[in-house]
A = this chain, B = another copy of it.
Amino acid sequence: MIVSSASNLFVVGGEWKPSWTAGAAEEAEAVAAIPCSGHGRAYLDGLVLNGHEPVCECNPCYSGSDCSKLSSDCAANAGSGDPYFLEPFWMKHAASSAVLVSGWHRMGYSYSDGTYISELLVQYIRKLHETAGNAVTEGKYIIFGGGSTQLLSAAVYALSPNSSVSPAKVVATAPYYSVYRTQTQFFNSRDFSYEGDTTLWKNISKNDNTRFIEFVTSPNNPDGKLTKGLVQGSNVKTIYDRAYYWPHFTAIPSPADEDLMVFTISKLTGHAGTRFGWAIIKDEEVYEKMLDYVGLNTMGISREAQLRALKLFDVAVEGEGREIFEFGYTTMRDRWMRLKQVLSKSSRFSLQKLSSQYCSFFKRDRDPTPAYAWVKCERQQDKNCNDVLVAAGINGRQGSVYSADNRYVRLSLIRSQDDFEILINKLKTLVAKDQ
């Protein structure tokens, strides 16, 4: 990435040969060469079979030592948002996305500027946002967290007054990502408390001095809608969770320019396991408090995670930096169109309404490509939509997880192609049976 071709010292007879890196390189290639029938993956840190080769870890519904057996009566996994849909992109870019970590890489607590934050990585993040046109970063602070997860909590702490007399009220609008509630309740600070849905707080006086902290996910998880904050008042602070605001999942009408925006590598490059997120912050004081939080909570973010993020972002910005977004969009459009087509034959199930919208990234109107289907069971008697789907072998997440009616179920569309194909097949069977 950063380093151009190595000096001639390392080139022997026109061809470079590894010395101390040879073992690590060989090991990585050996593991990558285990085929797992295309329905699983062997990892360097996988459990080992026969004392030498790591075992294949099979995709859901596949089994056998080489993942070749498809179980016919296996339920579709459309639950968690594991972003495996981007895995093929990284396999295609194997050479440029590989990174070799030496045993002595960054052993100390801080970078050379004394911080826990790689300034080079900050530069890449600014460039990525510029390329995608999805956020204004100029004149703003950037901080890293253990996924966006840690930053959501850090933001609540930073925006709460240090006052146990009048703790901040944390709110969100259903359907919403449940972590906003569970996290706020679990940490149970004297400085804030979770106060439920924004609809309960629509009529607060404009003169009310209580600090409100509203979580807004835009595009929304679960339904993909571009939403805005609802609570009005002089003392309202908003945390914009922008995890899905990338061309993979939505039109980008214009760069987001909110005071506090949270992003995650998970929904950009697909590396949920890296646990790397960042916040873009306008106000210096809020930034400093969030730094305090991450400092006291974990003393910053793993240098390995930061190095990996750097390498992945380096691939993402290659050329004009469009390929990853085009790959993501094409994959998600294909999935959404196929899903819509299957469900269009049914009056029993409906999908969220999303419309084509002008996208400044693609410079044209584009179809919706949400990360999740927000399915509604339309029949009067199907009060628990999840029960209906589970009976048909489809495991999603029920509406109540998102503080919504159980007539709704979220189906994840960002998992592996295997998971998506099984989901589509199960849905086809279910819809056909009802006709």
Contact = CB atoms under 8 A, between A and B. Distances in A.
A381 interface: no
Interface stretch (A145-153, A218-226, A250-258, A355-363): A145-153
Nearest to A5: B26
A3 B302 contact: no
A364 interface: no
Contacts of A94: 20, 102-104
A318 interface: no
Contacts of A45: 2, 106, 118, 120-121, 303, 306-307, 310
Contacts of A147: 298-299
Contacts of A51: 4
A1 B310 CA distance: 25
Contact of A23 (B54, B96, B186): B96
Interface string A135-164: 000000000011101100100010000101
Interface string A1-34: 1111111011000011111111111111111110
Contacts of A18: 18, 22, 25-26, 29
A157 B185 CA distance: 12
A195 interface: no
Given A150-B298, A188-B191, A41 B104 contact: yes
A93 B273 CA distance: 28
A276 interface: yes
Contacts of A378: none
A22 B98 CA distance: 9
Contacts of A276: 302
Contacts of A82: 107-110
A235 interface: no
A80 B145 CA distance: 22
B93 A103 contact: yes
A21 B307 contact: no
A26 B10 contact: yes
Given A44-B99, A98-B103, A99-B101, A20 B10 contact: no
Interface string A99-138: 1111111111110100000111100000000000000000
B25 A3 contact: no
Given A100-B99, A105-B44, A299-B149, A54 B3 contact: yes
A93 B120 CA distance: 28
Interface in A366-380: none
B299 A275 contact: yes
Interface residues of A, number: 116
Nearest to A162: B188
Interface in A195-224: none
A274 interface: yes
A177 interface: no
A183 B308 CA distance: 29
A19 B29 contact: yes
A21 B91 CA distance: 12
Nearest to A151: B298
Given A98-B23, A189-B187, A301-B275, A47 B119 contact: yes
A292 interface: yes
Contacts of A146: 146, 297-299, 301-302
Question: Which residue, A15, A102, A149, A315, has most C-beta atoms of chain B within 10 A?
Answer: A102
A103 B315 contact: yes
A270 interface: yes
11 contacts: A15-B17, A41-B104, A44-B307, A80-B109, A91-B104, A99-B101, A100-B101, A107-B271, A189-B190, A190-B190, A302-B305
Interface of A: 1-7, 9-10, 15-33, 41, 43-48, 51-54, 57, 80-84, 86-87, 90-91, 93-110, 112, 118-121, 145-147, 149-150, 153, 157, 162, 164, 179, 182-183, 186-191, 270-276, 292-293, 296-308, 310-312, 315
